[in-house]
Structure 1
Amino acid sequence: MRRPTRTAALALAAGTAAATAAALLPSLGTTAAGAAPACTVAYSVAGQWTGGFQGGVVITNNAAATTSWKLTFDFPGDQKVTQGWNGTWTQAGSSVTVASMPYNGALATGGSVSAGFLANWSGGNVNPTTFKLNGVTCNEDAPPTTPPPTTPPTTPPTTPPGDGAAPPELHVGGNQLLDAAGKQVVLHGVNRSGTEFMCAQGRGIFDGPVDDASIDAIKSWHVTAVRVPLNEDCWEGLSYVPAEDAGANYIAAVTGWVNRLVAHGITPIVELHWTHGLYTGNSAGCSDVNATCQKPMPDAQYAVPFWTGVANAFKGDKSVVFDLFNEPYPDRATGSAESAWTCWRDGGNCPGISYPVAGMQSLVNAVRGTGAQNVILLGGLAYSNDLTGWLAHRPTDPTGNLAAAVHVYNFNSCASTSCWDSQLAPVAAQVPLVAGEMGENTCAHGFIDQFMNWLDAHKLSYLGWTWNNWDCSSGPSLITGYDGTPTAYGVGLRDHLAALG
């Protein structure tokens, strides 16, 4: 959906991106004899399943205040951290380091901070016992109040933490999305807008809550997938984005949100929504070079490193899907369908677009260059509503894990059963097809009812726009409250998914 720039677009904040953590103030040392240890670390396993677990540390500083911190410990076994949050996690062999982020580096005397991670294991999951904070050994004078278990449960649970089974690890088989066992997966979900525009408008990162309770409300609609739109400039930390919402802070917030979705058994679809590049041609959404509106194609300058960074962040979890670019419309710029499809695939200097374009092939290459095998979605022309040239121009992918994405609204050109039969069905016969966005601007649900019935008949995945409590007369909004209270339009999706069970 071409989410408009907010009315009068709040003044964009200036400043520099967040710097790395500041130098340490007086170093931590041991306290007087008989006092508390210089630091304590409580290590815990929040949940464990076959081959993986979620762990966390709570660090308490009992010595001099610091402006940055670094915790180190060694795993006794073959555990390997795959993702982390509230800190920069690295691992060399069995040695693990987590360093503070710009937003949580300050640690007062008596202050605490927590950080968490996901990890793999096979031979055993014995807890580490020795922790050092900024080089000082913690827990020396007294053990933690409640020592964590030192051995994994006799019968590990089969699901990760959260309130549902782990989302399936996905791959492409023919024209279907398949789980690790080869069973077809059909996704039903919603978009959760906000992370694509709030940061660029100086208004924070999320538009509304993204905590566990808000995920529970989404799941109450029988949702199995949530699409997470992202802003290129905020991820890259460009200087016009407020420092607290940019770079490492933005990445940590997004990563935490995606990890919470996974922990609740929901498939996240991470997608590039707003991008850099000056475009003032036909159907321009704004005259701003910054990522404050939908551009016709992603830019080569930032989109390739963006997807390299995103792929590195999530390549350890094949349940996360990558949607390379929200709604391409090079056809409006070039004036020719063939030149538009060539621009879509190959990028470069495209007619009518002033900046060098990152084509879909270069973005696929960026993702696969990290070793990521995650499923990739590619939307077509005309704001992802036109797939007529998709099969003839699809990029090459060494993993074979490409799928098509389509956006369908009642005001689009391809918005009828006859068009879906003639244009969408042939694509769906050869590759998986996901309706990444659907909706109508009537505050009703007659149109999406018709489209969902067509999609169900073809066993295709779909997600409604959008799980935000906006006035549905200004755009298709599914809810009036983040407790899941639907709009008149949202009733259609909620009741349809409930009927599917």
Structure 2
Amino acid sequence: MSGNKIVTTDGKPYRLLGVSRSGGEFACVQGKGLWDSGPVDQASVDAMKTWNIHAVRVPLNEECWLGVNGSPSGATYQQGVKDYVNRLVANGINVILDLHWTWGAYPNSPDWHCKDEHATCQKPMPDARYAPQFWTGVANAFKDNDAVVFDLFNEPYPDMPADWNKTLGWQCLRDGGTCAGLPYEVAGMQDLVDAVRGTGATNLLMVGGLEWTNDMREWLTYKPNDPLNNIAASWHAYSFNACASQSCWDSQIAPLTQQVPVVLGEFGQDDCGFDYMQRLVNWADSHDVSYLAWTWNPWGCTGGAVLIKDWAGTPEPGLGEGYKAHLLTRSPHGDQFVRDPIIAGGS
């Protein structure tokens, strides 16, 4: 990053524009292999390129990476991730590696929430037991590849177990330790920044906010310290989130974009249409915000947020068709098309 912009190695402003590709976070603990039976070969990457996709966010499973749980796990899982990352980068596509599912029991959670201590579902915060170890391993694997970005934790929501006490939530997010309502020791964002930088990795980092990283109001106040000052703000904005209107984006997100790069790592709408998403990407374009829609998986768009009908990249009607058409008019460099973007490490 340079100021409030992500830049390439030659100093030109650059935006991460693309999709999230789900599978690596859940398939290994659900008996579905590594990528949920979906292809990660050259043909699958070629399909992405027909949409003018320049960045792919890849969610990962902490326990599968470390070999603690799941199948494949350990070295086999790690090699599969490395192979996919290398293929994407070789095709001029930046990769965001996202810590998505983590260890840690949340027994006092609402009935709708998963209570399993293993990395089989979303948790409010990463755990001190495994998360720093996970990021040490990932950083060592990719520290020589500055085309890879590290999204330190998918969607923090430590404010919920703290009975929506935002101050306690922000403190937990940054500092970790013993957090209100969580029985396991938490790894804060500072712990994870330290784990990555301790390997010598200079990769761009992404750090989220509260309320499933839709609440970014105190992000600057609680930003972790990075000796390289190479951290972007990770924001998610679905149509059903609290901050889902232009007035909210103008008041809460626009000021943040003046200080740091903002990456909209996930967004979508819950009726398979594109009207909300169109308003959001138009707003993001006008504020130099990066964005990656959820999700490049052919799951059938009945509840929203599914972009494709098949792995060949046939767009779903509505949101898929709309997003593909929009991406085809965009370039990571604005009006300058670049085939092989590489993100510069350091500030």
Question: Given the two structures, how large is their TM-score scaled by the length of structure 2?
Answer: 0.93
Could you tell me which of 258, 283, 289 is aligned with 2:85? 258
Which shifted more, 469-478 or 414-423?
A: 469-478
Higher relative contact order (CA 8 A, sep 6+): 2
Question: 1: distance between equivalents of 2:83 and 2:14?
Answer: 25
- Does residue 1:328 correspond to 2:156, yes or no? yes
1:475 positional shift: 4.0
1:474 positional shift: 3.5
Could you tell me which of 252, 257, 281 is aligned with 2:108? 281
Match of residue 17 from structure 2? 188
1:459 positional shift: 1.5
1:280 positional shift: 2.6
| Contact kept? 2:158, 2:172, Cα under 8 Å | yes
Deviations 1:459-496 (A, max 9, x none): 21100000000111144110001111001221111001
Question: 1: distance between equivalents of 2:241 and 2:226?
Answer: 30
> Residue type of the partner of 2:103?
H
Among the aligned pairs, what percent are the same residue? 54
- Does residue 1:221 correspond to 2:48, yes or no? no
1:186 positional shift: 1.2
Deviations 1:254-299 (A, max 9, x none): 0100000000100000010000010133456311010000000000
| Contact kept? 1:226, 1:268, Cα under 8 Å | yes
Match of residue 179 from structure 1? 8
Please list every run of at least 4 consecutive aligned residues from structure 1 whose deviation after the TM superposition is greater than 2 angstroms. 280-285
1:319 positional shift: 1.1
Could you tell me which of 242, 246, 268 is aligned with 2:95? 268
> Residue type of the partner of 1:318?
D
1:180 positional shift: 1.1
Question: 2: distance between equivalents of 1:185 and 1:456?
Answer: 12
| Contact kept? 1:189, 1:225, Cα under 8 Å | yes
| Contact kept? 1:346, 1:359, Cα under 8 Å | yes
Question: 1: distance between equivalents of 2:46 and 2:144?
Answer: 25
* Counterpart secondary structure, 2:160: helix
Could you tell me which of 358, 366, 371 is aligned with 2:195? 366
Match of residue 136 from structure 2? 308
* Counterpart secondary structure, 1:195: coil
* Counterpart secondary structure, 1:441: coil
Could you tell me which of 312, 327, 340 is aligned with 2:169? 340
Could you tell me which of 230, 233, 247 is aligned with 2:63? 233
Question: 1: distance between equivalents of 2:141 and 2:297?
Answer: 26
1:500 positional shift: 2.6
Question: 2: distance between equivalents of 1:384 and 1:437?
Answer: 10
> Residue type of the partner of 2:124?
P
Match of residue 76 from structure 2? 249
Question: 1: distance between equivalents of 2:102 and 2:220?
Answer: 25
Larger Rg: 1
* Counterpart secondary structure, 1:435: strand
> Residue type of the partner of 2:292?
L
Could you tell me which of 209, 226, 230 is aligned with 1:380? 209
Could you tell me which of 328, 334, 341 is aligned with 1:498? 328
> Residue type of the partner of 1:252?
Q
Deviations 1:317-367 (A, max 9, x none): 111000000000001011200000000000000010010000000000000
* Counterpart secondary structure, 2:220: helix
Question: 2: distance between equivalents of 1:278 and 1:326?
Answer: 17
1:67-466 pair list within 5 angstroms: 172-207=1-36, 208-238=38-68, 240-242=69-71, 245-283=72-110, 285-335=113-163, 336-466=165-295
> Residue type of the partner of 2:324?
R
Question: 2: distance between equivalents of 1:398 and 1:267?
Answer: 23
* Counterpart secondary structure, 1:269: strand
In terms of fraction of residues, the more strand-rich structure is 1
Question: 2: distance between equivalents of 1:256 and 1:467?
Answer: 18
| Contact kept? 1:441, 1:472, Cα under 8 Å | no
Match of residue 166 from structure 1? none
1:181 positional shift: 1.1
Question: 2: distance between equivalents of 1:174 and 1:451?
Answer: 23
* Counterpart secondary structure, 2:263: strand
Question: 2: distance between equivalents of 1:293 and 1:349?
Answer: 21
| Contact kept? 1:440, 1:476, Cα under 8 Å | yes
| Contact kept? 2:109, 2:115, Cα under 8 Å | no
| Contact kept? 2:47, 2:312, Cα under 8 Å | yes
> Residue type of the partner of 1:265?
G
Deviations 1:428-486 (A, max 9, x none): 11000000001011011110000000001112110000000011114411000111100
* Counterpart secondary structure, 2:138: helix
- RMSD of the TM alignment (CA)? 1.0
* Counterpart secondary structure, 2:59: strand
Count, aligned residues: 327
Match of residue 132 from structure 1? none
Question: 2: distance between equivalents of 1:453 and 1:320?
Answer: 26
* Counterpart secondary structure, 2:14: coil
| Contact kept? 2:272, 2:303, Cα under 8 Å | no
Unaligned runs of 5+ residues in structure 1 are 1-171
